[in-house]
Structure 1
């Protein structure tokens, strides 16, 4: 008999969230960093989902909203069914413990006047994770060993005495101690040497697999996204333009923006020309400034007249694969209310996992 799906509310849910900087939504001086995005993150899935896109696509804004660092201009962010803006006291403490961050700059997390132990002992005291000094020490040792660090070579040192990779793994260990239900890793390897990236990403994958903690991996690096994630969301100027299983999206991208991103990666094949697989249309279209259509129209090699008239809805060019592009208007359209379900980080093996259009 199949195990029934959990009726508990999702860990985190974004409902039609928009974030605008520099003025109101209708201000000419405003910048829309995130535009009407819905996303559901359940706390009972071990998946890694990558959010990719170039600078200014809204990736970090999405991460900041998920962690409650900033408030949305419109829309709602829910934590276990409760509006994050209404949280206080013990509930806010629970939220801060359940949703942990690993930031881009590993050095900025540390106070240079304190030993690295300080980064670990503060959350232990704040969240009352240990009853004694011995318990506290054991907790730190176990967390450091889980991310591949030797406690005797890490504890008691100052931040400048550790490498960038070691500092970053300490921040992963800090998040790990709190037994979070979600880790948001915002460009965690962009400021470390290439030789250390694999080690840090392997630490995140170990946490993901051994503790069944879902990870939202924010990155501009399609290569690392492909190797570590299960699913991928591609963002452009505040909107999600493509989503699905990472193998499907990377090997058979549908949206022209995703195709351009992937074709910008050098291939070890002298006979392969960059951009040879990008969709094109012979239709000549003038894209007026300030049009209300697709945000990628100005750069799109496949732009059509209707692209500048209205923004495209998400379509399903294949199962487990959504793309917001009129090139697929002959395929099933994904209803607005179903887009959030398409982007749900569903538990592995759940019945929802088997439905068409839901990532594995």
Structure 2
């Protein structure tokens, strides 16, 4: 129910269509086709969006983050359409819904030290008031994901391993104290030994801090490990959804 006082985010029959920009090609691609999704603030959970490349799962994630406007349907934040939010509400929306991307290099500026990655959003959202508060919150967030501040702060991105960079992205998202994290293939670029560590960190954050997550993946194994609910996407549509145990162990749709 989009009018429920506890509904944090609601997608109502959302679609996204990309049209060719070619003068001679008027074709279009319906990347997301009429999908609805609700996240209740009082019932946080991890929902997996699973599908192969081209299924529309990443596009749906970008719609949730407000990085793309829907072609059809409506996205509501606290019962208000996100395209009609006031400036203060839009800023809160940006803070409440954070992202962990597949490739940390897409976020890191190689000319800035890791410290800047943490300090910039704290300043933007006015989360801390003093340098000591800022430092303490950064260090606590880093330690939550199994890293040591002394081994990460003061360094440039290229001086860290892929696993360290990805865990820093998790720590950064956590530090902003969001209500929803959209994690797009967060373990696909790290080796197997680190996947379990990152997945466990996501589960721990969800359970201890009551944060909902949208876990985007092509890998049903990791979806099974981390998620409670799952939506199977194929060619822009949700072809099957429900409890992750039921969907994966007793699938109804041939694609699943």
How far has the Cα of 1:49 moved from its partner? 1.1
| 1:315-335 CA-partner distances (Å, limit 9, x unpaired) | xxxxxxxxxxxxxxxxxxxxx
> Residue 17 of structure 1 is aligned with which of 14, 18, 23?
14
How far has the Cα of 1:161 moved from its partner? 1.0
Task: Tell me the residue number matched to 1:62.
Answer: 60
Q: Distance in 1 between matches of 2:42 and 2:98?
A: 15
* Structure 2: unaligned runs, 5 residues or longer: none
Q: Distance in 1 between matches of 2:89 and 2:68?
A: 17
Task: Tell me the residue number matched to 1:43.
Answer: 41
Deviates more, 1:133-142 or 1:197-206: 197-206
The structure, 1 or 2, with the larger RCO (C-alpha pairs under 8 Å, 6+ apart) is 2
Contact 1:9–1:81, Cα closer than 8 Å, also in 2: no
Task: Tell me the residue number matched to 1:180.
Answer: 178
Q: Distance in 2 between matches of 1:152 and 1:44?
A: 36
Q: Secondary structure at the match of 1:130?
A: coil
How far has the Cα of 1:158 moved from its partner? 0.8
How far has the Cα of 1:23 moved from its partner? 5.5
- Number of aligned residue pairs: give it: 251
Q: Structure 2 length as normaliser, TM-score?
A: 0.94
Q: Distance in 2 between matches of 1:192 and 1:162?
A: 13
Contact 1:16–1:76, Cα closer than 8 Å, also in 2: yes
1:201 equivalenced with 2:165 (yes/no)? no
How far has the Cα of 1:9 moved from its partner? 4.8
Pair 7,16 (structure 1): closer, same or farther in 2 beyond 3 Å: closer
Q: Secondary structure at the match of 2:139?
A: helix
Q: Distance in 2 between matches of 1:84 and 1:46?
A: 21
Contact 2:19–2:26, Cα closer than 8 Å, also in 1: no
Q: Structure 1 length as normaliser, TM-score?
A: 0.68
Q: Distance in 2 between matches of 1:174 and 1:45?
A: 23
How far has the Cα of 1:92 moved from its partner? 0.8
Contact 2:145–2:167, Cα closer than 8 Å, also in 1: yes
- Write out aligned runs for 1:226-245 (5 A): 226-245=224-243
Q: Distance in 1 between matches of 2:89 and 2:245?
A: 38
Task: Tell me the residue number matched to 2:214.
Answer: 216
| 1:208-253 CA-partner distances (Å, limit 9, x unpaired) | 1110101110000011011111111101111111111111111111
Pair 194,9 (structure 1): closer, same or farther in 2 beyond 3 Å: same
- Write out aligned runs for 1:148-167 (5 A): 148-167=146-165
| 1:30-62 CA-partner distances (Å, limit 9, x unpaired) | 000011111111122232111101111110011
Q: Distance in 1 between matches of 2:104 and 2:41?
A: 26
Alpha-carbon RMSD? 1.5
Contact 2:46–2:227, Cα closer than 8 Å, also in 1: yes
Q: Distance in 2 between matches of 1:9 and 1:246?
A: 24
The structure whose residues are more often strand, as a share, is: 2
Q: Distance in 1 between matches of 2:176 and 2:43?
A: 17
Contact 2:101–2:183, Cα closer than 8 Å, also in 1: yes
* Structure 1: unaligned runs, 5 residues or longer: 1-5, 259-360
| 1:245-289 CA-partner distances (Å, limit 9, x unpaired) | 11111111110111xxxxxxxxxxxxxxxxxxxxxxxxxxxxxxx
Q: Distance in 2 between matches of 1:91 and 1:23?
A: 33
Pick the structure with greater CA Rg: 1
